[in-house]
Amino acid sequence: MGPQGPCLQGGHRPLDGPRGLPRSDCRSPQLNAAPADQIRLLDVQALDVRLQQLAHRRRSLPEHAEIESLTKDLTQLRDLLVAAQTEESDTAREQTKAEQDVDQVRQRAARDQKRLDSGAVTSPKDLENLQREIASLAKRQSDLEDVVLEVMERIESVQERVAELTERVSSVQSKIDDATARRDAACEEIDGEVATVTKEREVIAGTIPADLLKLYDKLREQQGGIGAAKLYQRTCQGCRQELAITDINEIRAAAPDTVVRCENCRRILVRTAESGL
């Protein structure tokens, strides 16, 4: 064993290992840490995994998708409601206009009738014209009244639609409120556990030498959240690969406080009674 200890490149192997893996880590000075500190690193790792699971659970709460989908529905319904309300006020204006038209025709017919009744019009030709106009106005009034009726029917139907959409908007809104309350309660519970686990991690991490913790944090970031793994029955629990016999021999030969790494995944390998050494 050279001065680099069990860092498995140790000088007696070519720069490219048997698996052609980069060995740049081996050029950094050998790290030492008391076996108890290394074991505690596994506790930190377990808590970090727990924190990752909690973050994942928080992100994938079913309420997120539920709220998103309901909010989409709500936006659509609100658009429909605004369109219906616009149609309602447009139609109301149309009704006023149609009623005014009827009124005008009615007033004009009343004036004509008054003139006719007054006997002031005596010329037969004028009388005939006046009577013809009264008849034509009556026809016109009847047509316009039909328009008023048709507009009123449309108003009734659009009012029904506004009422229905208003109810649907309020129903979807209360579903959103309900899902939001459930989401917030779930998040609060998760956040509470995150706070507890974070505190616990802080306490344990505080007892681990800074250089070991730094290496662990760096590897954890690079290796999908797992920076330290147990060596269990000659298998790295980080990458699940069984170590080669030569690597096992080097680890066997390493001092207990040497921080050893997996040749395959480069994670910190923590030795325990179950390591199969």
DSSP state letters, 236-268: ETTT-PBPPHHHHHHHHHS-TTB-EE-TTT-PE
Q: Which is nearer to Zn ion, 9 or 264 (CB)?
A: 264
**Cβ at position 47, least distance to Zn ion in Å:** 20
Is 264 near Zn ion (CB under 5 A)? yes
Segment interacting with Zn ion, rule: CB under 5 A, options 64-72, 78-86, 133-141, 228-236: 228-236
CA distance 118 to 137: 19
- Least distance in Å: CB of 2 to Zn ion? 22
Least distance between Zn ion and beta carbon 213 (Å): 19
Cα atoms in the 13 Å half-sphere on the side-chain side of 192: 6
3-state helix, strand, coil in the chain (%, to 5): 70, 5, 25
* Among positions 54, 121, 176, 239, the unique one binding Zn ion when judged by CB under 5 A: 239
Binding Zn ion (rule: CB under 5 A), the pick from 47, 262, 268, 270 is 262
Q: Does 275 bind Zn ion (CB under 5 A)?
A: no
Q: What is the number of other CB atoms lying within 10 angstroms of the CB of residue 46?
A: 14
Note whether 223 binds Zn ion by CB under 5 A.
no
Q: Which stretch binds Zn ion (CB under 5 A): 3-11, 63-71, 85-93, 239-247?
A: 239-247
Q: Which residues have CB under 8 Å from 109's CB, separation 6+?
A: 134, 137, 138, 141
Q: CA geometry: angle at 77 spanning 71 and 82, to 5°? A: 125
Residue 227 as a binder of Zn ion (CB under 5 A): the answer is no
- Please report, as ranges, the residues that interact with Zn ion according to CB under 5 A: 236, 238-239, 262, 264-265
